[in-house]
């Protein structure tokens, strides 16, 4: 068996954002979705506030989400800026995905600042993305501007906020390898 560090490094470096246009129609089984969510639950969390909250949309629920996102776009876009193509693409993207998970956080301002809760949520999302990669499921984090208007639809409590959507689907075409500028350009070493 390959050393754990080799497996971990391989999965981290192979992970890519895979977008709905590249998904096929194969359904991601509930057991797989649950595996991702279980691993999300192991994200670090300052003062153990455990802020991450998820709403899983599949089947008819997913259709209702698409309709709601399209409605918000229509209702909040001035007629002069409204694009029919953009409107259509909102439901199209949701249709292409097998499952869409709303990424929410429960905030505890009396305990930790918001950024720490969002950081914990992001760690949870990375756990999901790496688990998806290991299971050959395509996924990506989408953060459209209209997530600020989903409180009622998502049934969010006053101290909860939505930070985006995790789209999931199986895919065939291998993405290009990841592009990053070298880490050496981003690190300062202080040794004496
Ligand atoms: C917090 C967050 C929000 C993102 N929101 C979007 C988005 O709204 N639309 C999009 O196309 N990609 C979004 N992405 C995905 C990035 O575009 C993607 O990570 C980046 O292009 C690097 O590609 P890779 O994930 O394949 O390494 C988001 C990523 C993060 C971490």
The rounded mean pLDDT for the chain is 97
Best residue among 14, 16, 102, 140 to mutate for probing ligand 1's pocket (most ligand atoms within 8 Å of CB) is 140
Q: Give me the percent of the chain exceeding a pLDDT of 90.
A: 97
Residues 30-49: tens digit of each pLDDT: 999 999 999 999 999 999 99
Q: Give me the percent of the chain exceeding a pLDDT of 70.
A: 99
Indicate whether 92 pLDDT > 80.
yes
Between CA 148 and CA 177 the distance in angstroms is 33
Å from CA of 110 to ligand 1 middle: 30
Q: So what's the pLDDT on residue 177?
A: 87
Residues 109-154: tens digit of each pLDDT: 999 999 999 999 999 999 999 999 999 999 999 999 999 999 999 9
Best residue among 12, 13, 17 to mutate for probing ligand 1's pocket (most ligand atoms within 8 Å of CB) is 17
Residues 1-12: tens digit of each pLDDT: 579 999 999 999
Indicate whether 80 pLDDT > 70.
yes
b or e along 19-43 (b: 16 or more beta carbons within 10 Å of the residue's beta carbon)?
A: bbebbeeeebeeebbebbbebbeeb
Q: So what's the pLDDT on residue 1?
A: 57
Q: So what's the pLDDT on residue 44?
A: 98
Closest Cα to atom 6, ligand 1: which residue? 142
Closest Cα to atom 25, ligand 1: which residue? 17
Q: Whole-model pTM?
A: 0.97
Å from CA of 191 to ligand 1 middle: 34
Does 102 or 176 have the greater pLDDT score? 102
């Amino acid at each position: 068996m390959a050393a754990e560090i080799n497996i971990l490094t391989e999965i981290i470096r192979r992970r890519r954002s895979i977008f709905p246009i590249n998904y096929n129609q194969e359904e991601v089984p509930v057991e797989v979705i649950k595996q991702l969510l279980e691993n999300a639950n192991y994200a670090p969390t300052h003062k153990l506030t455990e802020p991450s909250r998820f709403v899983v949309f599949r089947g008819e629920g997913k259709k209702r989400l698409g309709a709601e996102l399209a409605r918000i776009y229509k209702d909040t876009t001035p007629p002069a800026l409204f694009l029919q193509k953009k409107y259509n693409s909102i439901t199209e993207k949701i249709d292409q995905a097998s499952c869409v998970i709303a990424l929410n956080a429960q905030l505890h301002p009396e305990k930790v600042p918001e950024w720490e809760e969002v950081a914990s949520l992001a760690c949870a999302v990375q756990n999901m993305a790496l688990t998806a990669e290991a299971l050959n499921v395509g996924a990506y984090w989408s953060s459209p501007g209209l997530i600020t208007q989903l409180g009622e639809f998502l049934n969010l409590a006053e101290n909860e906020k939505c930070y985006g959507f995790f789209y999931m689907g199986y895919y065939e075409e291998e993405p290009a390898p990841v592009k990053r500028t070298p880490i050496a350009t981003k690190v300062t070493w202080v040794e004496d």
